[in-house]
Amino acid sequence: MKTTASSDRVVTLLRSLPMFRGLSPDQHQALAPLASVRDLDRGEVLWREGDDADLLTVIVRGQVKIVRHGDAGDVILEIFGEGEPVGAIAVYNCMPYPATAVALEPVTLLCIPRRDYFELLDRNPEFTRGVMRELTKLTLALTRKLQESRGQRVDGRIAQLLGSLADRMGKETPDGMLVPLKLTRQEVADLVGTTVESAIRVLSRWGREGIVVTRDDGFLIPSRARLAQVAEGKES
């Protein structure tokens, strides 16, 4: 892990992140010396379950998975991507992190000490609204995930997962929507609560049928409408 704190770099990152765009240039300059930038490689741990949540962490580049360790194995609870705060609920509630955060690929993180984060919330309504938007999105995503897992078939759950990831981090290409996230079949299975064999079977069939194509740079969805039909149980 590398930690850097170049003031110019921090200001540039603050201006690029939606959460901080409501701050003035003077506020960016004042905040820059308080923040730090962390660069991690794939597989490096941001924090472990039970660690103190003393930094607001926003992803500048890459993706991070949240993992809960258990006797039966690891379970991936959520994935966060560029521009999203990770662990913000624990920071806001001054509680230990409830799960471990791991870099899914090389990531760049902007980190702000909790004390300075709370001062920003108190003094800047625009920043507060930006944080509330991100936390609301997270709450809705978790609620939707719980609802979708109740009695739904595996292919429907995987379709919902990829549709949600496409909404949050998808990129339009001439061939369709690309989700630039390299998930293993085991990680897909963990995210939807199924076996790796089932995930392999569904994604292999979808590849043959052109519903979702697995590529070296992620998942290509040629037709969002067709994937939505699978998610709604209208196509198997």
- Identify the structural domains of the chain with CATH numbers, from first to last: 2-147 (2.60.120.10), 151-231 (1.10.10.10)
Q: What pLDDT, on a 0 to 100 scale, did the predictor assign at position 23?
A: 76
What is the token pair recorded at 108? 């760049």
The answer to whether the CB of 45 falls within 8 A of the CB of 54 is no
- Is a pLDDT exceeding 80 seen at residue 21? no
Residue 10 pLDDT > 70: yes
Tens of pLDDT, residue by residue over 99-141, are 999 999 999 999 999 888 888 778 877 777 766 776 676 666 6
- Who wins on pLDDT, 167 or 47? 47
Q: What is the mean pLDDT of the chain?
A: 85
pLDDT band at 41 (very low <50, low <70, confident <90, very high): very high
Assigned token pair, 30: 């004042």
**Quick check: 117 and 9 in contact, CB under 8 A?**
no
Tens digits of per-residue pLDDT, 56-114? 999 999 999 999 877 766 778 888 888 888 988 888 888 999 999 999 999 999 999 98
Q: Cβ(169)–Cβ(104) under 8 Å?
A: no
Q: Report how far residue 38's alpha carbon sits from residue 55's, in angstroms, rounded to the nearest whole number.
A: 12
Distance separating alpha carbons of residues 236 and 232, to the nearest angstrom: 10
Indicate the SS3 state at residue 145. helix
pLDDT band at 215 (very low <50, low <70, confident <90, very high): very high
Does residue 164 register a pLDDT over 90? no
Q: Kindly list the strands in the beta sheet with 100-103, ordered across the sheet, starting from the edge strand earlier in the chain.
A: 45-47, 100-103, 64-70, 73-80
Q: Which residue has the tokens 């998930």?
A: 183
Q: Whole-angstrom Cα distance, residue 48 to residue 96? A: 9
Question: Residue written as tokens 């339009």?
Answer: 172
Average pLDDT (205-219) is 93
Task: Please report the pLDDT score of residue 159 as a whole number.
Answer: 92
Closest CA to 58 of 99, 92, 20, 24: 20
User: Above 60 in pLDDT, residue 4?
Assistant: no
pLDDT at 16: 86
Question: Is residue 2 predicted with pLDDT exceeding 60?
Answer: no
CA end-to-end span of the chain: 44
Residue from 19, 148, 129 nearest 84 by CA: 19
Q: What is the separation of C-alpha 121 from the centre of its chain, rounded to a whole number of angstroms?
A: 22
User: Nearest to residue 191, comparing CAs of 89, 75, 97, 73?
Assistant: 75
The proportion of the chain whose per-residue pLDDT surpasses 90, expressed as a percent, equals 38
